[in-house]
């Protein structure tokens, strides 16, 4: 089993930055992907970013390209989401997730999910 615990959410103003963290523990695989999704009230869960743990290759949703950066720390088993130039439309619960194999932008492809952390951006 894999456990994912997010932290770092909060209330910020438009234009501010925030960094989310997700610590993974439990079972590991030779090749896996860590991702971030977000869900605003009344909306579908949306792909934000993902990183291949072994190669470091990344993928981003169109709405966050150029503003958000995903990275990982292999020693700490932690994935980060650096969010810059935040906008009110970035307000959502942010979820960390994990899957085996290659990067996917589909929510259904991910097997393990954290509990989520709230990010609120005021205008």
Q: Which residues pair with 22 in a beta bridge?
A: 6, 79
Q: What integer is the mean pLDDT of 50-69?
A: 96
Query: What residues pair up with 51 in beta bridges, in sequence order?
Result: 34, 58
Q: Cα–Cα distances in Å, from 1 out to 25, 59, 111, 113? A: 8, 25, 10, 11
Copy the structure tokens of residue 114: 């954290």
Q: Mind listing the pLDDT tens digit for each residue in 27-59? A: 766 679 999 999 999 999 999 999 999 999 999
- Report d(CA 34, CA 27) in Å as an integer: 14
What does the pLDDT read at residue 98?
95
CA-to-CA distance for 82 and 79, rounded, in angstroms? Answer: 10
């Amino acid at each position: 089993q894999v456990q994912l615990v997010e932290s770092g959410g909060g209330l910020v103003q438009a234009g501010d930055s925030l960094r989310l963290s997700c610590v993974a523990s439990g079972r590991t695989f030779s090749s896996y992907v860590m991702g971030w999704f977000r869900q605003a009230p009344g909306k579908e869960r949306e792909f934000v970013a993902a990183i291949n743990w072994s190669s470091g290759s990344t993928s981003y949703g169109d709405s966050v390209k150029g503003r958000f950066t995903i990275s990982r720390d292999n020693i700490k088993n932690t994935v980060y989401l650096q969010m810059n130039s935040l906008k009110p439309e970035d307000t959502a619960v942010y979820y960390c997730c994990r899957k085996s194999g290659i990067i996917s932008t589909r929510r259904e492809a991910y097997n393990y999910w954290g509990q989520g952390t709230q990010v609120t951006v005021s205008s």
